Structure 1
Amino acid sequence: MKQRTFLAARIDQWSREHPRLLDLTLAGLMWLVFGLLSALAGLPAFLVATAAILPLAVRRRFPTAVLASSATAFAVQLMVVAIPLPANIAQAIVVYTVAAHVESLPIRLLALGAALAGSVLAGFRWSTPPEYPANVLKNAAVLGILCVLVWVIGNLVRGRQANMAALREARARLEEGRLQRERFVAQQRRVIAAREIHDIVAHSLTVVIVQADGAEYAAEHARPWNRGDAGKVFATIGRAARSALAEVRGVIAVLRDADADADGADESRGAGPGVAELRQLVDSVRAAGLAVDADAEPSVFDDVPPAIRFAVLRVIRESLTNVLKHAGPHATAHLLVARTQEGIMVRVKDDGVGVRRAADLASEPGYGLDGMRERLRTLGGVLEAGPRRGGGFVVDAAIPVAVLPPSAGPAGLRSGGMRRIGE
């Protein structure tokens, strides 16, 4: 239902939308009223009134020209007509128009000066004896005060219009800033989703490839063929594929949600992962054929924001996936997840082919180590990685946590409370 407005508000809106038509209407009505009334003073008065009123039809389009025309008409009136006319109200409208719609201060001051000069001349022309000097002073003062008031009102209106224009411009800039922020958030959401999908697919496909290669080799060389082992291989492949599909669908669902938080897909999936999800990740890597020795505190994720939980899980998954892909056969991975006084520390090391693996990771800019560093940097964390002395590779990550449980110990790793994952 459309809201009804007052008649004055509708008239004001119409006048703002049709300024030229308003000026034309105003000039016509004034001529019909004040112009015809001025005709009672004779034909010269009627012609002067017509010359003063009709230019008002273009007063906002050509205010300076209308000012000159009005001053000329008033000068002619002083010479040929000895009395004031009803049409003299047109001069006041012209002064208001120049003050309200002309940006140039000299022109506005010129209009005020012309109005004051006309007031003085009118005082001399229209005053009568016997108290001629007093009448001149009184008439000139009254007309001058009226001209100053009209000029001041016009300047106030011009200032209001300037303020309204500045407010509209500021609102347009704010709207543009809001649109830019929305575009930035959407772009950030897409980048985070792409990173999530990369992590999910890379890990799952690595598991699938390792299992498929092992099954292919066993099918060609193993004697006899063990149906139980084959079933386990296909079950692992199926679980990895289904898990990847579910996670990718979750990321896409978050990406499609326009109201999703700008922090990305991680924080919009509830409370975040815990030790159970970490155990499932380790089990999936072990099922792919990598020996993993994992230790974590049972309360390592207590009082930890979901974004940090997801970041820890992603770092572990990416690191173990890299071990699976690059460490070589018969490698063993060692995983440690612990709380420190500052936050959570993650260490993933292996005894595989560390030097070659470092070169392989360095050849994949934007993913792997760089992706993990970028993820941790947004949370205030750091990541260091490199070959180990004597062979192998190590990844160390530290993420600060603002809220720690009361049992948090001094700086460094707590000595007790560790639990081997999978036991």
Structure 2
Amino acid sequence: MDQRTFLAARADRWFRARPVRLDLLLTALTWLVLGLPGAALAGATGLLVATVTIAPLVLRRRFPVVVLCWSAAAFAGQLLLVPIPLPANAAQAIVVYTVAAHVGSPVVRMLALALAVTGCLAGGLRWSTPPDQTRNALVIGVTLAVCSVLIAVIGELVRGGRANVRELHEARRQRDRLAEQRRRMLAAAEIHDIVAHSLTVVIVQADAGGYAAGTTPSWRPADAGAVLSTIAGTARTALAEVRGVIAMLHEPESAEEPPGVAVHRDDVQRLVDAVRAAGLPVVVTGPPAWFDEVPAAVRLAVFRTVREALTNVLKHAGRDATARLTVERHGDAVRATVEDDGRGPDTTPPPGRGHGLAGLRERLDVLDGVLETGPAPDRGFRVSLTLPGVFGPDPGWLSGVPRDPRGTPDSQPGGGDR
């Protein structure tokens, strides 16, 4: 059964790729099966009429309107020359189907159907025999007309099915183009964030090193080495992250995944260490052990938000600022908060110049994430991210005390609401 289906599918694909050969084969078989009997039924005239009726089927796909007119003329000639129906009249049904299935103009399709119904009624009158000739004419004509309508309906369904398939293919191609465009835009935003953060750390370190070297008498080569080591480490990390983003762009199987390197709890800690090395004190509460168990997209969203917020603190909060990072769980949601006690929101870029947080909001939409930014309660600036539905409903966790996937309370500090 499977083998026959497979062979039928191969034959269907072969003929679809070669429609002219299919029509030639159909015409030859139709003439052999339905045309030759015309000679036995009506002599040479019947064979001639059958041949004239069937031969144009070779061109039925390329010139359906011309073949329709030819078929109508051939049928009119048959009514005049042959007093009986011929098997070759099935060719007219093929023409009606072809026009309904391949002609886009509704006027031409309705004309074909009208000609078919008219021919059926005329044939009923021509071919009916006594007694009760009128009744026989109506029965023959109406029966043939109903068959013609059904054939036209089948052609309409086939044409509509082809149109639907084309629209589906076009929609799929459009979806693929939009998905690829979205991946590239996300990758560009990710690379921008990586480069912006890394250059901020490098600039802060270089400025601090240059300032200390010029103003501090006790400046030593070891201090310069520490600054250069931080700069080199930051650059190497940024290079590895950019390579990870580019590598994911070249992997088709990652089309539904957000571009970026795999992020874990240790990566957040390394980010904090790099910011501390740049001179910004960071007080960390989290992320707890369950952070590595949440989906990769959630971990990446938290990492992006923390990186962008700490970068902004480095840029705008001032030298004496301190940042506080908290990653915790609220019910089935993950919340990450970065708050500083620096100079406050007046020093942040005015609207239209800073794109980091706006870009984060756009990328968080696919996760239903909520990003809240604004002045901190006392002083400074606050960035808070909430990602709902991360853990799914679990009544045992409604108390606010987070637990790892094995069901034991997480012992890490800041693991939940206190």
Structure 1 contact 204–240 (Cα < 8 Å) conserved? yes
Match of residue 361 from structure 2: 373
Which residue in the other structure is 2:385 paired with?
A: 397
SS in structure 1 of the partner of residue 127 of structure 2: helix
Residues 154 and 206 of structure 1: CA distance in aligned 2, closer, same or farther (over 3 Å)? same
Query: Please, which of 60, 75, 79 is the counterpart of residue 70 of structure 1?
Result: 75
- Provide the residue aligned with 1:238 in structure 2: 232
Matching of residues 140-151 of structure 1 within 5 Å: none
Q: Which moved more, 1:384-393 or 1:330-339?
A: 384-393
- 1:264 maps to a residue whose letter is P
Task: Say whether the 8 Å CA contact 1:35–1:53 is kept in structure 2.
Answer: no
What SS does structure 1 have at the residue aligned with 2:335?
Answer: strand
How far residue 163 of structure 1 moved from its aligned partner, in angstroms, is: 2.7
1:176 aligns with 2:167: no
- Cα distance per residue 1:355-378 (max 9 Å; x no partner): 3323x163434x222123333333
Q: Which residue is equivalent to 1:131?
A: none
> Residue 249 of structure 1: SS of its match in structure 2?
helix
Unaligned ranges ≥5, structure 1: 40-45, 79-83, 124-135
Task: Give the Å deviation of 1:92.
Answer: 3.1
Q: What is the DSSP-based 3-state SS (H/G/I as helix, E as strand, rest coil) of the residue aligned with 2:367?
A: coil
Of 282, 286, 302 in structure 2, the residue corresponding to residue 292 of structure 1 is 282
Residue 131 of structure 2 is aligned to residue 119 of structure 1: no
Counterparts of 2:51 and 2:251, CA distance in 1: 63
> What is the CA–CA distance in structure 2 between the aligned matches of 1:11 and 1:154, rounded to whole Å?
29
Aligned residues: 384
Question: CA 1:217–1:258 in 2, change beyond 3 Å: closer, same or farther?
Answer: same
Q: Percent identity?
A: 35
- CA distance in structure 2 between the partners assigned to 1:99 and 1:338 by the alignment: 70
Q: Which amino acid aligns with 1:410?
A: S
Question: C-alpha displacement at 1:311, in angstroms?
Answer: 1.2
CA distance in 2, matches of 1:342, 1:18: 62
Shift of 1:299: 3.2
Distance 2:167 2:214 in 1: 69
- Cα contact 2:54–2:88 (8 A) shared by 1: no
Question: Does the Cα contact within 8 Å between 1:297 and 1:417 map onto a contact in 2?
Answer: no
Query: Which stretch of structure 1 is more off in the superposition, 379-388 or 144-153?
Result: 144-153
Please provide the CA RMSD for this pair.
4.2
Question: Separation in 1 of the partners of 2:29 and 2:368?
Answer: 68
1:312 aligns with 2:302: yes
Aligned to 1:165: 159
The answer to whether the aligner puts 1:322 opposite 2:322 as a matched pair is: no
Name the amino acid aligned to 2:320: H
Q: CA deviation at 1:339?
A: 1.8
Tell me how far 1:31 sits from its aligned partner. 8.3
| 1:346 corresponds to | 336
Residue 207 of structure 1 corresponds to which residue in structure 2?
201
**1:287-321 CA distance string (max 9 Å, x none):** 00111122226335164222111211211111111
Alpha-carbon distance in structure 2 between the residues aligned to 1:248 and 1:304: 23
Contact kept? 2:201, 2:278, Cα under 8 Å: yes
What is the alpha-carbon distance in structure 1 between the residues aligned to residue 353 and residue 221 of structure 2?
A: 38
Amino acid at match of 2:337: R
In terms of Rg, which structure is larger? 1
CA distance in structure 2 between the aligned counterparts of 1:300 and 1:48, rounded to whole angstroms? 87
Amino acid at match of 2:68: P
Return closer, same or farther for 1:148/1:58 CA change in 2, 3 Å cut-off: farther
Amino acid of the structure 2 residue aligned with 1:370: A
Counterpart residue number, 1:92 = 89
- Give the secondary structure class of the aligned counterpart of 1:403: coil
The separation in 2 between residues aligned to 1:15 and 1:355, in whole angstroms, is: 70
Change (3 A) 1:408 1:229: farther
Distance 1:94 1:140, change over 3 A: farther
Quick one: which amino acid aligns to residue 381 of structure 2?
F
Q: CA-to-partner distance for each residue in 1:313-357, whole Å, 9 max, x for gaps? A: 211111111111111112111222222224222222222111332
Q: Residues 223 and 17 from structure 1, CA distance in 2 versus in 1: closer, same or farther, beyond 3 angstroms?
A: same
- For residues 369 and 72 of structure 2, what CA distance do their matches in structure 1 show? 71
Letter in 2 for 1:63: L
**In structure 2, distance between residues paired with 1:24 and 1:144:** 33
Q: 8 Å contact 1:380–1:399 — kept in the other structure?
A: yes
CA distance in 2, matches of 1:386, 1:139: 93
Larger CA deviation: 148-157 vs 99-108: 148-157
Cα distance in structure 1, aligned partners of 2:23 and 2:161: 21
What is the Cα deviation at residue 273 of structure 1? 1.1
Residues 248 and 323 (structure 1), Cα distance of their counterparts in 2 relative to 1, 3 Å cut: same
User: Structure 2 vs 1, CA of residues 380 and 112 (structure 1 numbering), >3 Å: closer, same or farther?
Assistant: same
TM-score, scaled to structure 1? 0.75
Whole-angstrom CA distance in 2 between matches of 1:73 and 1:406: 83
Partner of 1:110: 118
Quick one: structure 1 residues 114 and 15, their matched pair in 2 at CA, closer, same or farther if it must change by over 3 Å? farther
d(CA) in 2 for partners of 1:15, 1:386: 67
Is residue 410 of structure 1 aligned with residue 399 of structure 2? yes
Distance in 2 of aligned mates of 1:95 and 1:262: 52
SS of structure 2 residue aligned to 1:293 = strand
Q: Is the 8 A contact 1:20 1:57 kept in 2?
A: no
> Relative to 1, partners in 2 of residues 1:330 and 1:194: Cα closer, same or farther, differing over 3 Å?
same
Q: State the Cα distance separating 1:229 from its structure 2 match.
A: 0.7
